Each structure stands twice: as C-alpha cells, then as structure tokens.
Amino acid sequence: MAKGSIVSHGFFFNIQTGVHQTQHEADGDTSVGNTDLCLVRCCDVEGATEIAFVFQYLRFDFVHKALTDGNKIRKWNNDVVRKVEDAWNGGNNVVLLPKTPSNLIPKFRFRFFCQVVPPAIAHSHVNVFDRENARANSKNWDLKDLETDSDGACTAIHETGHHMSLSDEYLERDSCSLSVPGFLDNKLGLPYLLDEKAMMNSNIVIRPRHYWHNAEVLFRDVEPKNTKFKIQRGTEAPYFIPHVTGPLDQNFVNVPFKQQINATNNGKGMFDLFLYPLGREEYSDSVLQPGKQFDSILCVKVKMRFGFPKNRFSFMNSFLEDAHQGIRKKFRDLPFKIKGKDFSSCFVFVSPRYIVDNPPEGNDEYLKKQLDPARGDHPGLSSNSDLWAARVKDILQIENNNWHYTVKIHDDPFFRSSRKFWEGGSPATNRTLRYEYSDEDDFWEFFAEMLGLRNRERPTIDNFAGIASFVEGGKCVPL
C-alpha cells in the first residue's frame, strides 16, 4: 500500500543499468550515454494521486590533467556535481504525467543524481585539462567548461547531456563545406537547428524534449502498458509527441516520424525529406516564427556538390556565402505552413547543403581543422589535396554516396547568360549545373529548380503542393 492508502499497481522498484540511446550523429550512428535509470513507486501522495520518481543516476570519474592540489580537485568536482544537477533538475519542477488524467497512474517526478566516484565503478571517465581554445567533447573537458559565459552558455551542462544519452542538435561544420552548411547531420535533417539557444545546440536552455526519453520508458514499463505520458515543467504548456512502440532510442525526438531520400515535388527537383513532430515548448511556440505555433517540422535537405576553377579559400567561400544568403532570403521564412491529417501546423524548413571538391588554399587554420579527421583515418596520406579528397569521400560514404546536384563553377570575365545552364537542358537530365562565378547573388534562381519550381520562381502555396503532400493529407495553407 502506498502512503495515504493509495493502491500501488505493478512494480515497486525498477532499475535499469547501462541506459543509452543509439543516436544519428555527424559521423554516423553511435551509442550515446551511460547511466542508471531507476523508477520508484509509492514515494508520496497528492490528494488521490500516487507520487513516484524517475531517477537518472550518473557516476563520473574525473581524470585531472592540470590540477594537482587535492582541495582544488575536490572543489571543482563538487562544483560540477552541484551545477549539472541544478540545471537538469530544473528547480525540481520536471514531472511526467499521464496524458489523460487518472488517479490510477502515478505522477512521476524527475530527478537527476550525479556523483564523482572511483574509476572502477564509474559510468564515464572524463579527462580534465586546462587548454586554451580547445573544443570539449564528452570525454575531454577543460576547467573553464564549468563556467557560464555572458550568453548563459555552460559547456559542462551540455556535455553532461551526452552522458545522459542526448545527442547534439547543431550543424557539424567540419565537413569540407567552406564554412557554409555541410552535408553531415547530428540528427537527420537537423530539425532543431533553428533552436539556437537550446542546450544541445548552443549550451544555454534545456528544453522539455530533452526529457522525452524518460516518458518513453514510462510508456513501455508502467501498468497499464502503453499509457501515454507528457512532460510538465513548472507552469509551461505540457510537452507531448506521439510515442513509439519500438526501441527507446527510436523515439521521435531522435528519428523522423517519416522520411524519404531523393524525394521530388510532383516529379520535379530532388531533395531529402524528414518529418518530425514538435511538442509544446518555446521552440515550437515562438522561436520558429514569433506569434505562430507549430506541431511539426518538415526538413527539406538539398545536397549540392561544388567544383571551382580556383582553389583559393576566399574565392570559393565568397561565392558560397553569398549564394547561401540569397537562398535563405527567398526560402527560409515561408508565408505558409502545411496542414495535414496527423499534423495541422507543420513548419517547412528548406535546408541547402554544400560540399566542395577543391582543397582550399590560403587559410591554414581552416584547412587543418577540416583535415584532422582524415589524418587519423588515413595515416598513409600526407598531402593536403589527398587528405581533402579522402575526407570528401568519407563524408559522401556517410551519406551513402548520395548528393542531389553537381555544380560546376566557371569564372568568365566576359559574362554571358549562357554561362548558366543545366547540362542536357534541364535539372533532371544528369542533375549538373554549370554556373558563372560572378553571378552568385542570383544562384537562388537555379536553386528554385532544385526544389521543383521554375527558374526564378519564389515559393508559393501552389508550387510547394508536391512537397506538402509528403505529410499525409498535407496541403499548404497561409500562416
């Protein structure tokens, strides 16, 4: 019997060790996280409702490479524990409730519990350095990563999210794209890329979706099975998306609700489509478009492979930056959304991506950063050109050697309009565009054809109809 004579149905104590999720990251699918997850019943009562707890327990072993003083080490370790616990516990305001109110099903409070322990019993081992301008990852931190910067960002809280089984949500820049968006996704289609303040994007704000895997555990384990749960954080609107009946890590925060590679717009254009549900949170309620609320996002990913007549970094980067900004101006904030059967307010996110065959010259810092992965993967190669070619090949292999359009840039000082044309006369012939370097601001005109529109045609409710149909029963409607 629970406190207050509330009858406890099902388990009283359930512990799962080695909890992780297989996540799609920039270098492919990988296992993320390692914690214990404990469900405890009969902890308290609120009126006629049983109170239970979801405990996520993480044991750190910090291997200090800079600090040697025992007191300083203990203080830093303790500061980490307090800071990450306070952040992920959300002021003790994170609860998981049955979507349909019922006194027969407990209300679960979420608690994140962290300790620093000896190496033999740790979930995770983290090296702690004191380097300048080093990029942290889940296994290597720096002392400064505990600090919160002027924007409110804290790297230690973000990296702890990985140990809790959460993946990155940002765009991976080390992908041979010369500082514009590349091919590699940390989640297929990058559905949360526009959520710039999110903890797993820019290390600032924890979102309700970051707790959703716990709701999936309850959906699977709490009697009656397949009871739908929602995330309630303080006075915010409840967060809910459709549950999955398969593996925990196949939940729709991590993977698309629906996807299609090499999709078309009524037989024209070519791109990849990734549809994700969006629960109620700041991202869907106001970030995507102020004053508008969305229940889903359709990511339209167009992959373009570029070749240039010159290898100079500034020459290539200048064209790509201007071309990308021109596309964003025409295709980012569309005046319509998709209304369908399962989703009534779907945001359309057009996402152009780039990869460049030319090894850039004149920016040694950029080149080194791009080639570091290739040096580790291909120790027999030494020249920058060979390493760049190997890195491009590796990226394309991650994408199953699939890209949508090849773009061959020419630099003709005597510009003529005939210098911009599709080989074979149309995008569909062999999906190769020959384009004049000096006309980068108008590149969006041909990008429109990649989406199945006419050249120079801007997006409308009518010409996006084929894309909208990917959402079951989907039609474009005004915002």
pLDDT band at 173 (very low <50, low <70, confident <90, very high): confident
Which tokens hold the place of 304?
């373009």
SS3 call for 383: coil
- Cβ-in-10-Å burial (0-12, 13-18, 19+) of 73 comes to middle
pLDDT grade, residue 456 (50/70/90)?
very high
Give the pLDDT confidence score for residue 5 in this predicted structure: 36
pLDDT of residue 416: 63
Name the more confident of 424 and 7. 424
Q: How far is CA 146 from CA 111, 125, 166, in A?
A: 21, 16, 19
The model's pLDDT over 61-117, given as tens digits with 9 standing for 90+, comes to 999 999 999 999 999 999 999 999 999 999 899 999 999 999 899 999 999 999 999
What's the pLDDT tens digit per position in 301-337?
Answer: 999 999 999 999 999 999 999 999 999 999 999 999 9
| pLDDT interval class at 391 (50, 70, 90) | very high
What is the predicted pLDDT for the residue at 327? Answer: 98
pLDDT of residue 3 exceeding 50, the answer is no
Confidence bin at 223 (pLDDT 50/70/90): confident
Res. 248: pLDDT tops 60: yes
Q: How far is it, in rounded angstroms, from Cα 127 to Cα 109?
A: 32
Q: What confidence score (pLDDT) does residue 14 get? A: 87
Best CA proximity match to 418, nearest among 439, 393, 401: 439
Provide, rounded to the nearest whole percent, the portion of the chain with pLDDT above 90. 91
Q: With 90 as the cut, is the pLDDT of residue 174 above it?
A: no
Residues 127-143, mean pLDDT to the nearest whole number: 95
DSSP string, 431-471: -EEEEEGGGGGGTHHHHHHHTT--TTPPP-TTTTHHHHTTS
Ranges assigned E (strand) in 219-312: 229-233, 258-265, 268-277, 296-307
Q: Is the pLDDT of residue 366 over 50?
A: yes
pLDDT of 106: 93
Q: Are 256 and 276 in contact (CB under 8 A)?
A: yes
pLDDT tens track for 367-385: 999 999 999 999 999 999 9
What is the pLDDT at residue 34?
Answer: 97
Mean pLDDT of the chain: 94
